[in-house]
Chains A and B, each alone.
Chain A
């Protein structure tokens, strides 16, 4: 039996390669594939002919209500809702694949469906009581109710704990007052998962999640925001003015709203990842067609090395992103308890790979890329948000690195009790990492050798697995070294954390790519899997160079200098040198 309490990345930071978590690469059952074929086909027929509309709605900054109605009729709001409540019952893998398809046609549609399924109603799915589910899921499945996730406020984005919306007890219910900002689906939602302050303890706020519906007196929404991208999707403020919420609408445990919020974001991650993959695949289609047709200097630009480099990298990045997202989906669907770091990694990697792909795709199209008549400028505008919402990539990098260091630290028996629970509140938790590093004995030496090697991977991939094993030993040593070097001050050493996070991101994604290529090799044989083996060669080479470079910077770097330059600029609030 698989041990679902294992966290691949947490073990990796201690030098242990828990290969059975990632190998074999997740495969879909025949029936699931058949369903997805049907879904892909239908989505194509629904959205394929609307390209001109999507362009128009991006310009207009809104999609018509009649089209949202079509999406409902089509069943797009029931993807992750169990069949018994009238939904499709998709788990993360099928859900991510479906969002991938939608995102090939339009990012605004993908995010409308995604905000509903990934975050809007996911709290109900994960924490709802049977009564709450019975009451809302059937309506959410048909789209009669559309869901939104309302956490952010003007003063509380990354620092979600600073939220000011309050819920006061009132008899057997609650009264909610406060304002939420930039809520996706705000203008079309009937069901809100709302986070509000319900007290505090030792200066730390207690937060509780509530189900609030649009028909409750005192709920109102602002106008549609004028945005850079995702322009046709609804983003609004949401206001709660003395809204009476019955006690039975508390979602999850009272005062455990943070846990609810984090669980929702973690569990819904593959939606964003899937969307990014869809956009990347579309961009690769556009770029390859364009490069095949465009001629300069008497040759098609596909002939040029610098264009090949861009497209080759797009292919590698897309393959790697898909491997990571599918793997995270499999961890979630496989019942793993602890996949938050892996999920965060997939979000950071996917959003950055998409950004890079969109930028290069535009570049390949030259001046045309810059023209609104072509798809690139819209896709780049739509892509940009992914690095900001559902946790900014900066915050997620801190989360990835600090969770690892926390896990490594808490392995030491004498400290494990004091560490437990600190990261239930990951964002605020950064402030409370204890002084353990100095007592920290070297972890690297005590690890049984066998568990620092891949044994389930084909010898044909020996080169990549050797690289991975070597980098893993470095990683364990690096965590150790960073903890020793900075101790409790690690919280303030963001550039050290960032470096570690980047290493972890690269290693997790590389492990996923190894697993994926290994599976293809087994299924297709060396000849037919040759290009995938090449993808692995390229990617593992890139990871090796990046990671070794980052290791080198742990001890010797310009961190303090560059931060000094920033401080100088902050103080002046301008660039300080002028030659005239």
Chain B
């Protein structure tokens, strides 16, 4: 199976207080931020690796995983890290965050998918910076491929996947045929959430969350191919369809008040908060 995994770097959510907006409000000042791969995208990578191996012998790779990102040269660090973790190849589309919106990202990915012809595109359900929850769905639409979002479990079947999605009040199970786009949720990295056709039923991965690269793999990753493409070569003259008008920090939260009883609470909700 050939899987394309899309990764985006995000500012470390633990350091969100370092995000600064200049007085002009024309941009986000990213200097001094620490970057990491969007956690949901790491889960997508882990899912891709699990789908291309027999869980009990993960060193033998049984498929191909291609990691893709759109970003400046620094993001190659994130791609190298994906390669060290187990991806076979990487592609960086050279651009910067402020030159992108969800539609452009989906359009660029569409082009890459048409070139690479994977059986499956795996993505995080959303990024933890913009929280857009958009690109996976848009890509499936552009490709006109079947789609399953918020995957919590994935079992490989002949010619497709059985995807369990956690929805309000239960689990909905979808059967998607290849080629397909699947976006993953947090639960996908539980020890028995993903099963490739080679992995035995009942097998549990010996760790929670995602695998990490042993040191020799970090050196080997340097030798794995990493291609760089120009955004314009993928999307032609397409331009941003959403424009950033102004950036501002959310207003600081006001201190709360204590109410003495339910009556006062209801009254305040109605008159002050205007929430009811």
Q: Is A35 an interface residue (CB 8 A)?
A: yes
A64 to B212, CA, bound (A): 22
Contact residues in A for B213 (Cβ distance below 8 Å): 38, 41-42
Of A70-78, A199-207, A238-246, A280-288, the stretch lying at the interface with chain B is A70-78
CB of A86 within 8 Å of the partner chain: yes
Per-residue B-contact encoding for A48-68, CB less than 8 Å = 1, 0 else: 000000000000000000000
Q: Which of B130-138, B154-162, B215-223 contacts A (4 or more CB under 8 A)?
A: B215-223
Question: Which A476-508 residues sit within 8 Å CB-CB of chain B?
Answer: none
Instruction: List which B65-108 residues lie within 8 A (CB) of chain A.
Output: 76-77, 80-81, 84
The answer on a CB contact under 8 Å between B212 and A46 is yes
A299 within 8 A of B: no
Please report the C-alpha to C-alpha distance between residue A35 and residue B216 in the assembled complex, in whole angstroms. Answer: 11
- The reply to whether A73 and B214 contact each other, CB–CB distance below 8 Å, is yes
Interface string of B214-239 (1 = CB under 8 A from A): 11111101100000000000000000
Q: Are A42 and B216 in contact (CB under 8 A)?
A: no
Docked complex Cα distance between A401 and B137 (Å):
71
Asked whether, in the complex, the Cβ of A88 is within 8 Å of the Cβ of B212, the reply is no
Given contacts A34-B77, A34-B80, whether A39 and B216 have CB atoms under 8 Å apart is no
**Contact across chains for B214 and A38 when beta carbons are under 8 A apart:** no
Q: Which residues of B contact A37 (CB under 8 A)?
A: 77, 81
* Residues of chain B within 8 A of A86, CB atoms compared: 216
Count how many chain B residues have C-beta atoms less than 8 Å from C-beta atoms of the other chain.
15
Q: How many whole Å from B30's CB to the nearest CB in chain A?
A: 15
Q: Are B214 and A75 interface neighbours, CB within 8 A?
A: yes
Give CA–CA (A147, B214) in the complex, Å: 20
Residues of A within 8 Å of B222, CB to CB, are 31, 35
In the assembled complex, A45 has its CB within 8 A of some CB on chain B: yes
Q: Is the CB of A88 within 8 A of B216?
A: yes
Give the CA-CA distance A41 to B81 in the complex, in Å.
Answer: 9
Task: Verify A76–B215 contact, CB threshold 8 A.
Answer: yes
User: Quick check: A89 and B80 within 8 Å, CB to CB?
Assistant: no
What residues on A are CB-neighbors of B76 within 8 Å? Answer: 34
Nearest A residue to B215, CB-CB: A75
Across-interface contacts of A42 in B (CB, < 8 A): 84, 212-215, 218
The answer, yes or no, to whether A83 is at the interface (CB within 8 Å) is: yes
Measured in the bound complex, the distance between the Cα atoms of B80 and A78 in whole Å is: 20
- Cα separation A45 to B213 with both chains bound (whole Å): 9
B100 → chain A closest CB, angstroms = 23
Bound CA span A74–B212, Å: 10
Residues of B within 8 A of A39 (CB): 215, 218
* Smallest beta-carbon distance A144→chain B, Å: 13
A19-50: CB near B (< 8 Å → 1, else 0) gives 00000000000010011011101100110000
A42 and B81 CA atoms in complex are apart in Å by: 10
In the complex, the answer to whether B77 meets A78 with C-beta atoms within 8 Å is: no
Within 221-273 of B, Cβ neighbours of A (below 8 Å) are at 221-222
Interface centre among A38, A79, A83, A86 (most CB of B within 10 A): A38
Q: What residues on B are CB-neighbors of A83 within 8 Å? A: 219
Query: Could you tell me which residues of chain A, from 68 to 103, have a CB within 8 Å of some CB in chain B?
Result: 73-76, 78-79, 83, 86, 88-89
Contacting residues, chain B, for A75 (C-beta < 8 A): 214-217
Residue of B nearest to A141 (CB): B216
A38 → chain B closest CB, angstroms: 4
Tell me the minimal C-beta distance from B93 to chain A in angstroms. Answer: 19
Question: Are B77's CB and A74's CB within 8 A?
Answer: no
- A76 to chain B: which residues have CB within 8 Å? 215
Cβ of B216 and Cβ of A38 under 8 Å apart?
A: no
B221: contacting residue among A38, A73, A89, CB under 8 A: A38
A95 to B79, CA, bound (A): 23
Q: Which chain A residues lie closer than 8 Å to B221 at the CB level?
A: 38
Which of B76, B81, B218 has the most chain A CB within a 10 Å cutoff?
A: B218
**B214 with A88: CB separation less than 8 A:** no
Q: Contact: B81 with A74, CB < 8 Å?
A: no
In the bound assembly, the distance between CA atoms of A37 and B78 in angstroms comes to 10
A38 to B218, CA, bound (A): 7
Q: Which residues of A contact B218 (CB under 8 A)?
A: 35, 38-39, 42, 88
Q: Which residues of A contact B214 (CB under 8 A)?
A: 42, 73-75
Contact yes or no, B212 A89, CB < 8 A: no
How far is B221's CA from A38's CA once the two chains are assembled, in angstroms? 10
**Contact B219–A45 (Cβ < 8 Å):** no
List residues of chain B with CB within 8 A of the CB of A31: 222
Q: Which residues of B contact A73 (CB under 8 A)?
A: 214
Complex contact A74–B215 (CB within 8 A): yes
Contacts of B217 in A (CB 8 A): 75
Q: Which of B84, B213, B217 is the most central at the interface, judged by chain A CB atoms within 10 Å of its CB?
A: B213
* Docked pose: A31 CA to B216 CA in angstroms: 15
Whether the Cβ atoms of B81 and A89 lie closer than 8 Å is: no
- Is the Cβ of B215 less than 8 Å from the Cβ of A41? no
Binding site for A on B (CB under 8 A): 76-77, 80-81, 84, 212-219, 221-222
Chain A to chain B contacts (Cβ below 8 Å), 18 pairs: A31-B222, A34-B76, A35-B218, A37-B81, A38-B81, A38-B213, A41-B81, A41-B213, A42-B214, A42-B218, A74-B215, A75-B215, A75-B216, A76-B215, A78-B215, A88-B215, A88-B218, A88-B219
Contacts A35-B219, A74-B214 aside, 4 further interface pairs with beta carbons under 8 A come to: A34-B76, A35-B222, A46-B212, A79-B215
The 10 A-B pairs of least Cβ separation, nearest first, read A75-B215, A45-B212, A38-B218, A75-B216, A74-B214, A75-B214, A42-B212, A34-B77, A42-B213, A38-B84
